[in-house]
Amino acid sequence: MNRCFLFFLMVIGPFSQLLSQSEPITITKALAIETSRYHFGRILHSDPVLKALSEGTFILPKAGDDMLINGDTKTWQAIETDENGWFSGSALRGGYICISYRSPQKQVVMLEEMGNLWGWINGEFRIGNQYQSKDNFEPWEPDFGFSMVPVELKKGNNLLVFRCSRGRFKLKIHASPGEAFLNARDATLPDLPTGTIPDYLGAIVVGNAQNSPAEGYKLEVSFPDAEVQTTEIGFLPPLGMRKTAFRIKGKYAISGNEPSDLVVKVKDREGRILAETSLSLRHRLPGELHKRTYQSAVDGSVQYFAVNPANGPKGPKALVLSVHGANVEGLNQAASYYPKSWVNIVSPTNRRPYGYNWEDWGRMDALAVLEEAKNCTKPIFSGYLTGPFDGRTWAPEPVATFPDHWAVIAPQCRVYESGQLLLAVLCPQQFLEENTLIRRSRNMAMTDSMAINYKQNGLYILHGGADDVVSARTGALRSFCFGKFHSKDFVYHEEPGGATDISDEEWNGLV
C-alpha cells in the first residue's frame, strides 16, 4: 500500500516573544500525525483537513489525541526541528503543518515560508513557497528564497496551518517592515549590454504591510545618468502584494564591466518614502550569455529569457529554442550549452524554475519568447526546439499544440510516462470511477493523444540508457509510438550507460 503522511505541527507550551528587526523567530517544536495518502492521483478528492479549514471547524489538537483518518486511528506525536530549524521527513510530502503561536500584541509580521504549497493564517489562505527545501544553493541552482508574506497576528493565540510539499518545512517570523515593503529577493531584471543606451523593463514585488487598502503609491527608479522613472503602483488590498513593472532608461551608452545600481523607492501621495532598496544590474559584453526582459501578453507581467549568442563570424544565424526542465531556469538552461558558431540558443524561463510544465501559460510564454528572440536576433531559421531533463509533458509540448511553428524537435533525456497512464496502472478502480469529462480536462498534458501532430516535423529523441529517474523503457515505448506513423526523419538514440547526470563534455558531444 502506498503511504505518505499528513503532519500537523504545534508549538509545545506557551511561546511569546516580541519581534525585532534583526532577529526573526524560528519555530522549533511541534505535534505530528500520520495518515494514508488516500487522495493519490485524484482530480477531485476528499480532504478532511482542508474541509475543516474551509468551514472554520478545525480544532487545534493536543499530544496524545487520536484521530480517525480514512478508517485508520492515528495519534498526535511531538517532534522537533534539527539544529538548523527544519522539520523534515517523508511525512512532510503533501502533508500539513499546524502551529499555535502566541503574540504579545496585535501586530503585522512577515512570514518567511519554506517548503509549503500554501498557508492558512487565522482563517485566511495565503500563498506558499513550495520548492524551497534548504537554506543554501549551489551557484548553478535557482534560489527559491524569495517568499515574504505579510500577515496580521491577533493578541494571544494564533492558528497557522501550512500544506507541505517537499519533505521539509521551515518557518521564520519577521517583524513588520512598516507601512509598505519591497521584496528585492524577487526581482526580474535584464542584463545591460555594453555600448547600448538602456531602455529595458524590470519588475519588483511591492507589498502593503497594513490591514487596510493602500492607494496612490508610486514606484521611483533611479538609474545612473538617467531621469527618475515613476510608475503608478495602483490599488493594493490589505496585506496585499503586486509585482510591479518599471522602466530602466538611461541617457548614455553603458560602458565598463562594473554593474549598475538601481535605487528603487515606494512613495505615498505626499512624497514620503515608505520603502527603499537597491538592485544590481550586470553589464554584458557582446557575445556573452545574457538575460533579456519583455512584457507578457498573457497577464502584462515582466518576464525574462536568456540568450547564448553564436560565437562564429558575423552574419545571419539560426535560432534554437531550448526549454528547461524541473529545478532549472532559463539562464542556467542557456548556460548548459557550449556556444555554437551557427546558432543563437534562446531559453525562456516559464515563470519559475518549475513553471507551468510548458502547458497553458508556459506554452504561451515559450511562443512569446520565440517571437521576441526573432525580433532581436533576426534568424535565418527558427524552427528548432530542444531541451534536456523534461517534465511529465516533455519538451515538445508546444509542438503538439502548435506544430506549424516548428520543423525539428530534439528532446534530450527523460520522457515521462503520462499521468493518465500512471493513474490507470496504479489505481484502476479510481481511474474508472472518475468522470470522463473531468479526465478529459487533463488532455492538454497528454501529448500522447496529439502524437500525430509531430508527423510533419523532424523528431530526434535522446535518452540515457542508465537513467535512474525515468527508465529508458519509457523512451523506447515512445519510439515505438512515433515509429508507427513517423517513417521519415525520426531517430531514437539511447546512449549506453547514460544516466541522469551527464558531464558537460558528454552533453556537448551528444547534442
pLDDT at 476 over 70: no
pLDDT of residue 443: 60
132-186 tens-digit pLDDT: 989 998 887 888 889 999 999 999 999 999 988 888 999 999 999 999 999 999 9
pLDDT at 194 over 90: yes
What cell was used for 219? 514606484
User: Which H or E run includes 504?
Assistant: helix 504-510
pLDDT of residue 201: 97
Least confident of 159-173, 235-249, 387-401, 481-495: 387-401
Q: Comparing 393 with 453, which gets the higher pLDDT?
A: 453
Q: What is the pTM (predicted TM-score) of this model?
A: 0.83
Mean pLDDT of 69-96: 81
Alpha-carbon distance values, 423 to 43, 140, 177, 297, 426 (Å): 11, 34, 46, 35, 5
Band of pLDDT at residue 499, cut at 50, 70 and 90? low
Residue 466 CA to residue 408 CA, distance in Å, equals: 26
Alpha-carbon distance values, 509 to 179, 246, 321 (Å): 55, 42, 19
Least confident of 58-62, 191-195, 281-285: 58-62
Angle at 282 between CA 182 and CA 295, to 5 degrees: 60
pLDDT at 277 over 60: yes
pLDDT of residue 458: 75
Least confident of 32-41, 131-140, 251-260: 32-41
pLDDT at 36 over 50: yes
Locus of grid cell 513553471: 355
pLDDT of residue 139: 80
Are the C-beta atoms of residues 157 and 123 closer than 8 Å to each other? Answer: no
Band of pLDDT at residue 93, cut at 50, 70 and 90? confident
Are the C-beta atoms of residues 494 and 479 closer than 8 Å to each other? Answer: no
pLDDT of residue 387: 74
414: left (phi > 0), else alpha (psi -120 to 50), else beta? Answer: left
**Looking at 296-407, which runs of residues are DSSP E strands?**
302-308, 318-322, 343-348, 381-388
Residue 448 CA to residue 468 CA, distance in Å, equals: 22
Mean pLDDT of 17-38: 69
Average pLDDT, the chain: 80
pLDDT of residue 481: 59
pLDDT of residue 504: 53
User: Which H or E run includes 55?
Assistant: helix 48-55
327-367 tens-digit pLDDT: 788 998 899 888 989 999 999 988 887 776 777 788 889 89
Amino acid sitting at position 142: P
Mean pLDDT of 70-74: 73
pLDDT at 417 over 60: no
Residue 474 CA to residue 60 CA, distance in Å, equals: 46
Least confident of 19-23, 90-94, 498-502: 498-502
Band of pLDDT at residue 15, cut at 50, 70 and 90? very low
Are the C-beta atoms of residues 114 and 154 closer than 8 Å to each other? Answer: no
Residue 11 CA to residue 101 CA, distance in Å, equals: 7
pLDDT of residue 338: 87
pLDDT at 112 over 90: yes
Least confident of 374-378, 394-398, 401-405: 394-398
pLDDT of residue 444: 60
pLDDT at 92 over 70: yes
Q: List all residues 6 or more positions away from 221 whose beta carbon is below 8 Å from its beta carbon.
A: 202, 228, 229, 230, 231, 246, 247, 248, 262, 263, 264
Band of pLDDT at residue 43, cut at 50, 70 and 90? low
- Residue 109 CA from chain centroid, whole number: 24
pLDDT of residue 478: 58
Residue 61 CA to residue 75 CA, distance in Å, equals: 10
pLDDT at 293 over 60: yes
pLDDT at 232 over 90: yes
Mean pLDDT of 109-125: 94
**Looking at 327-429, which runs of residues are DSSP E strands?**
343-348, 381-388, 408-412
pLDDT at 394 over 70: no
Are the C-beta atoms of residues 405 and 454 closer than 8 Å to each other? Answer: no
Band of pLDDT at residue 4, cut at 50, 70 and 90? very low
pLDDT of residue 509: 54
Q: Comparing 471 with 265, which gets the higher pLDDT?
A: 265
Mean pLDDT of 469-484: 59
Band of pLDDT at residue 313, cut at 50, 70 and 90? confident
434-467 tens-digit pLDDT: 556 666 666 665 666 676 777 777 777 777 777 6
